[in-house]
Amino acid sequence: MTSESLHVAVVDVGSLKNLGWVIEGPSVNESGGDIDSCIEALSRSMETGPLALGFEAPMFVPYGRKRCDLDKAREGDGDRAFSAGAGAAVLSKGLVVVPYILHGLRCRAQTARPTFRWRDRLSERDLLLFEAFVTHVGKSTHVESARMALKLFPREWEERASFKSAVEEQSTLNLLGAILLRIGWTHDLAMISEPCLVVRHKGNSN
């Protein structure tokens, strides 16, 4: 296996009083519930190599569907559709929480390069963004939920190169790409249509 000195982090998106985050890697291993402490820890992790950062909220939606299918679940959502119940609620929170985190990280790691291409080998300054998706786990804390998704992320490039996203759509509106454009971290319009990796932890649905 080839080491990339990769840190992996997951943020379980919620209200500011119900936020959880976990970072694991060669030099930074921390968790907590404060959003600003999260940003500081993320920036420190990027000082030594690439970072894979996942947000536990829908980070892309289908695009170009027929009228009758517009708000149906994404391929892979199962009984936890992005457009209903908890999915819709956390999506709306993500639209304000995620830009705050990414803007703060950009200010501290200005040479970092955001990417969605999880099958590529990561370079030292790459920031791989993905969606974490945790369901059917009962009354876990937000930190515990974030850690569940983190443990399933394929850390080695050889494994990641063949890793299949848990949710896929033929055509997407990538919300992370839109956020990156809004905060000025990219000028590449193609990022709003790139596929986004989804790492899913699914507990007992019974």
DSSP string, the chain: ------EEEEEE---TTS-EEEEESSS--EEES-HHHHHHHHHHHTTSS-EEEEEES--EEE-S--GGGTTSPPBTTTTS-TTSHHHHHHHHHHHHHHHHHHHHHHHH-TT-EEE--TTSPP-TTEEEEEEEEEES--S--HHHHHHHHHHHS--SHHHHTTPPPSSB-SSEEEHHHHHHHHTTS---GGGGTS---EEEEE----
Dump pLDDT digits (tens) for 120-140. 999 999 999 999 998 877 678
- Quote the pTM value: 0.94
Q: Please say if the pLDDT value at position 82 is more than 50.
A: yes
Dump pLDDT digits (tens) for 40-58. 999 999 998 999 999 999 9
